[in-house]
Chains A and B, each alone.
Chain A
Amino acid sequence: MPSLLEIQSAMRTRLLDDSSPAAAALVTASLTSADRISIYRNTSRITLTNALRLNYPAVQLLVGEDFFAAAADLFITNEPPRTAWLDVYGATFPDFLAGFGPAASVPYLADVARLERAVSRALHAPDCQAVAPAQLASLAEPAQGCVSFVPHPAISLLASQYPVDAIWRAVLARDEAAIKAIKLDSGAVRLLIERSTGGIEVTRLEERPWHFAGALFAGRRLPEALDLAGDPNAPVWLAAHLAAGHFVSFAVNEAAHAPAALERRQ
């Protein structure tokens, strides 16, 4: 008698690889046992394909339902979910699309998928209390000089050489005129994707503020981020991030600011 672990392994193989015969022998009613297992496989595929559709609606509109289903089928076989929380399934689908030969004729597809991934992340990230600007103001000045931030989990940054935000909006709105007006060679875009009380916001940033945000979100200390920005407006950008609730915590790098404090006392 096979153990439960053996049965589940055989069933898993059959659900991921339709041609595997291993599980059928375990089931009664031999005439239709393969059909019976196929019902489970179909449900599984439909559920997972729908999960991808929900996370990548613009990709589906760009390539069509059949193409999307075929790409999803291959992706599901190669990278089935590791969690039952399907809202987060398909984080690597953009990379999969980037290497998916049949999609090569749509060069911006993977970047549109990356934008949709960022949108999905913004939709489903946990709720967190943001750092209030006053909390930072209460720090002593030397500590402020060594502070670094943790960004809100709903926020991400994305850069693309294509106007993927315009493509994404026009495609989801099914706005034919807007789609026609898109110029693929209009230059790179740098985006900030976040969740606000009104919904998901995708904002274009200039190059310097985008790099400054990238340094802050990556946890670089404030002076380094300011140096990298090399722009007198950077403190204003920081104030805007704080006011928008983009950070959930901050840390004061003691090792870095302790010597400075000592110097001051001397």
Chain B
Amino acid sequence: MAPAILPRGGSIPAKAGIGLRFAHHQAVLECPPDVAFMEVHTENYMGGGAPIRCLETVRRDYPVSLHGVGLSLGSAEGLNSLHLERIRQVAERIEPAVMSEHIAWSVSAGTFLADLLPLPMTEEALDIVCRHVDQMQNTLRRKILVENPSTYMQFRHSTIPEWEFMAAVAERTGCGILCDINNIFVSASNHGWNASAYVAALPTEAIGEIHLAGHSVRELPDGGSLRIDDHGSCVAEEVWSLYAEALRRFGPIPTLIEWDNNVPPLEVLLAQARNADAMIETENELRHAVAA
């Protein structure tokens, strides 16, 4: 279970935040935008100098979420303790409100393969992931969130539906879930799952954050298509719809707009965040109306 030591970085409100990328550092420092929080990739701030100094400045005005992309919670060979220590050092300096990682793997035989690779959904993988979530939470002395993956393939010998795998990790380790709505939509499309049923199967009390991002569609030679989670465009209409379903089920949840490729002007990101805020507000009003 997660150690009962609360982080000092405050919490993120149930509103919209944006993923902060280098392209927007200057703009954000010069004119801090009206968003509820900022999220960064932990791996981009492991050195000293200008990047982390910028993040420290941002941290004075906003709650910050540290989102890791390289720890490889799903590696059979164990976690890289040096990398975990670097994550701990960034956290010590930034005092983030939230920390998260992925249900994926990217390290094999000590080599970092630079992508969030899919896990077979097996009892073995579940045990390994839970052990590593425990290790991460114990090292950081805080609860973390784990994000559901977007995948383009499934292993023949998988035995556990992904939503059950996610719920089991949260239940066994006490971690929370970072529910990536775009990932659910992408994976459900690619594998013929029911995206709404996936959302409905997640444990409401574990959801600590939501991610929204854009994806692309690739036509396959066999006439089918594959959705690629490339974070390179606006959030798709179908993903906004699924997000509305998620808000209905989970209630208002801190929501992040992610954009990593072909990063647009900051204003485009902020418009997407305002859209998420409006939907959260609608959900708040619905709940108040019901309560009254």
Q: A51 to B44, alpha carbons, bound, how many Å?
A: 11
CA distance A26 to B155 in the complex (A): 6
Kindly identify which residue among B47, B107, B110, B157 contacts A1, using a CB–CB cutoff of 8 Å.
B157
Nearest B residue to A43, CB-CB? B115
A15 and B46 contacting across the interface, CB-CB below 8 Å = no
Cβ contacts B233-276/A at 8 Å (1 or 0 each): 00000000000000000000000000000000000000000000
**Nearest CB of B to A77, in Å:** 11
Q: Is the CB of A218 closer than 8 A to any CB of chain B?
A: no
B residues in contact (CB < 8 Å) with A: 43-44, 46-50, 52, 69-72, 74-77, 80, 82-83, 86, 105-115, 117-120, 122, 124-125, 128, 152-157, 220-222, 224, 226, 228
Segment at the interface with B among A28-36, A108-116, A250-258: A28-36
Is A186 an interface residue, CB under 8 A from the partner? no
Give A residues with C-beta under 8 Å from B. 1-5, 7-9, 11-12, 15-16, 26-29, 31-33, 35-37, 39-40, 43-44, 47-48, 51, 80-88, 122-128, 154, 195, 199
By the criterion CB–CB under 8 Å, are A154 and B226 in contact?
Answer: no
CA distance A39 to B226 in the complex (A): 10
CB atoms of A40 and B152 under 8 A apart: yes
Q: Which of B44, B112, B155 contacts A28 (CB 8 A)?
A: B155
Contact A85:B114 (CB < 8 A) given known A5-B76, A125-B49, A127-B49: no
A sample of 9 cross-chain residue pairs with beta-carbon separation below 8 angstroms, ordered by A number, consists of: A7-B76, A7-B155, A28-B156, A32-B220, A35-B220, A43-B114, A84-B72, A84-B106, A87-B44
Question: Which of the listed residues B44, B109, B112, B124 has the most CB atoms from chain A within 10 Å of its own CB?
Answer: B112
| Contact partners of A1 in chain B: CB under 8 A | 122, 157
Contact A82 B112 (CB under 8 A): yes
**Contact A126 to B111, CB < 8 A, known contacts A8-B105, A32-B222:** no
Taking a contact as CB atoms under 8 Å apart, the answer to whether B122 and A4 are in contact is: yes
**B153: which A residues are within 8 A, CB to CB?**
27-29, 33, 36-37
Contact A124/B83 with A26-B155, A27-B156, A84-B72 known, Cβ cut-off 8 Å: no
Across the interface, name the chain B residue whose C-beta is closest to A35: B220
Q: How far is the CA of A39 from the CA of B153 in the complex (A)?
A: 10
A46–B214 Cα distance when bound, in Å, is 18
Extra A-B contacts (11), CB below 8 Å, given A31-B222, A88-B47: A2-B157, A4-B119, A4-B128, A16-B111, A26-B156, A27-B153, A28-B153, A47-B115, A83-B80, A85-B43, A128-B48
Q: Are A84 and B76 in contact (CB under 8 A)?
A: no
Contact A36 B110 (CB under 8 A): no
The answer, among A4, A127, A128, for a CB contact under 8 Å with B76, is A4
Tell me whether A48 and B48 are in contact in the complex, defined as CB-CB below 8 angstroms, given that A9-B108, A28-B156 are known contacts: no
Shortest distance between the CB of A253 and any CB in chain B (Å): 29
Do A87 and B47 touch across chains, with their CB atoms under 8 A apart?
yes
How far is B107's CA from A86's CA once the two chains are assembled, in angstroms? 13
Chain A positions within 8 Å of B156 at CB level: 26-28
Q: Which residues of B contact A82 (CB under 8 A)?
A: 110-112
CB distance B111 to A80 under 8 Å?
Answer: yes
- Ranked nearest first, the 6 interchain pairs of A and B with the lowest CB-CB distance are A84-B70, A124-B47, A127-B48, A12-B108, A36-B153, A4-B76
| Residues of chain B with a CB closer than 8 A to A128's CB | 48
Q: Which residues of B contact A80 (CB under 8 A)?
A: 111-113
Q: Are A81 and B111 in contact (CB under 8 A)?
A: yes
Chain A residues with Cβ under 8 A from B114's Cβ? 43-44, 47-48, 51, 81, 86
CA gap between A199 and B53 in the complex, in Å: 12
Q: Are B226 and A85 in contact (CB under 8 A)?
A: no
The residue that A87 contacts in the complex, of B46, B74, B124, with Cβ under 8 A, is B46
Please name the residue on chain A nearest to B118 by beta carbon. Answer: A40
